[in-house]
Amino acid sequence: MKSVKLISILFLGIIFSQNEVCFDIEANTNSNPGFDYFTKYINVLDCFDVYAEENISDEKVLHAAAVAAELLDNNEDGIVDDPILKEELENREALIPIFRNEWSDAADDFFDNYNGNGASAVLFNFEIDPSNTGHWGDDATVEEVVHVINHIGHVSVYPDTFGLQPNSSYMSDAMDIARGGQFINHPDNYPEEAWYHYDDQTCDYRCMAIEYLYWCIVTDMGILDDAQTCNGIANEWEPCTPELFEETDLMMYALINDSEFKLPQLAPDGNYCPENNILGDINGDQLVNVLDVILTVNMILGSSEINYDADLNNDGGINIQDVILIINIILALR
C-alpha cells in the first residue's frame, strides 16, 4: 500500500510541476534549405520561431517558446513590449533551432544549408531543463534565446546603443570599462579592477559584447543571485546579484533599466499564458479592484516591490498613468 501511495504522490507531483504554456506545437512546413529534419514548430508572437527535431520532447519545445515569449512580452499581456524590436525580428525571421546534439542529422543539415539571417544561437537537448528555468548550469534556454533577441534585434535597431564593434556604441564603451580596458584580443591577464573577464579564445570582441549584454540582463533579473551560481561564474562575471550590478556597472545598470529600450526586467519562469491574465489584476486575485490601485500606488511611492504587470501602458515604468488606467478598468466593469 505504501508503494502505491508513493507512486501516486510522484505522479501528482509530475502533473502539477508542468509549466503552463499556451502555445501549440505545429508540424514544420518550412521548405527552405536547412529545415528538412525539423518536425516540430512554434511561432512565438509573430516574430520568433522555434524549430525542433522529432526526438526533442514537446515539453522542451514548449519551454523554449515560453521563455522567448516571456522575454519579448515581459508583462505577459500578449503583445511584444517593443514594437520596433518585434518588426526587426519578424523581418529577419528570428529563430532558435533545437537539436538532439551537435552531430545529429538535423544539426548537420542546418549548419550546412541555412542561408537566412535570423539565427544567432542554438539549443541542444541536454541544455534544456524546464524545471529550472534559466538556472546557470541547468537550463541554457534563457541565455540562448536572449542572445538571439539581442543579436538579431537590438543590435540592428539600436546600433548606437548596442553596437558590437569597438568604439561603436554605449554598450561597447561600457564593456571596455567592465574589462578594465579595450582589449581587441584576450589579454593574458585582465586588470585587477575588471569585473568582466571573458577568456574564451574563440570568442572575438563582438561575441564578448553579446555575452556581456546577456550577463547584464540576467543579473538585473536576479537569475544569478545564489551562492552556488556566483561562485561558478566568478571567473567570468563578478557582480552576480542585482545589488552588486547596480553598484559596480553603473553604465549598464542604467541602460538595462532605461524604459526607452523595454528590456525585460522580470525573469522568465517557463509559464506563458496571457489569456489567463486579467488586465489590471496586479495582485493576482482574479479581480480588478481598489486593492490593485493601492498596490500600484505603493509601488510608485517605493513602499512595495515593483511588479511590471502594473505597467498597463507599457511605458517601462510604474506611474500615475497606470493608476488611472486601473481606475478606468474598475469603472468599466461596474
For residue 199, name the pLDDT band (cuts at 50, 70, 90).
Answer: confident
Q: Per residue in 304-332, pLDDT tens?
A: 778 877 887 777 788 898 888 888 777 76
- Decide if pLDDT at 283 tops 60: yes
Which residues on neighbouring strands pair with residue 49, listed in sequence order?
43, 95
- Decide if pLDDT at 234 tops 90: yes
Which whole number is the average pLDDT over 184-191? 91
Map out the domains of the chain as residue ranges.
19-151, 159-256, 278-333
Buried b (16+ CB within 10 A) or exposed e, 95-112: bbbbbbeeebebbebbee
List the beta strands (DSSP E) in the chain: 26-27, 38-44, 48-53, 95-99, 123-124
pLDDT score of 288: 81
pLDDT score of 11: 38
Which whole number is the average pLDDT over 201-215? 96
Cα–Cα dist 123/64, whole Å? 9
pLDDT score of 16: 41
The DSSP call for residue 272 is B
- Decide if pLDDT at 281 tops 70: yes
pLDDT score of 332: 61
Cα–Cα dist 112/92, whole Å? 19
Which whole number is the average pLDDT over 120-140? 97
Q: Per residue in 40-90, pLDDT tens?
A: 999 999 999 999 999 999 999 999 999 999 999 999 999 999 999 999 999
Residues of the chain above pLDDT 90, percent: 74
Instruction: Give which of 79, 68, 77 is closest to 128, Cα–Cα.
Output: 68
pLDDT score of 51: 98
- Decide if pLDDT at 184 tops 80: yes
pLDDT score of 159: 98
Beta carbons of 162 and 154 less than 8 angstroms apart: yes
Q: Which fold has domain 278-333?
A: Type 1 dockerin domain (1.10.1330)
Beta carbons of 277 and 77 less than 8 angstroms apart: yes
Instruction: Give which of 177, 198, 175 is closest to 186, Cα–Cα.
Output: 198
For residue 5, name the pLDDT band (cuts at 50, 70, 90).
Answer: very low
For residue 275, name the pLDDT band (cuts at 50, 70, 90).
Answer: confident
Which residues on neighbouring strands pair with residue 48, listed in sequence order?
44
Cα–Cα dist 331/293, whole Å? 12
Which whole number is the average pLDDT over 220-226? 97
Instruction: Give which of 66, 75, 68 is closest to 131, Cα–Cα.
Output: 66
- Decide if pLDDT at 13 tops 90: no
- Decide if pLDDT at 118 tops 50: yes
- Decide if pLDDT at 250 tops 80: yes
Q: Which residue, chain included where needed, has cell 522567448?
A: 68
Cα–Cα dist 109/206, whole Å? 26
pLDDT score of 153: 98
pLDDT score of 278: 67
The DSSP call for residue 95 is E
pLDDT score of 316: 72
- Decide if pLDDT at 285 tops 80: no
* Mean pLDDT taken over the chain: 90
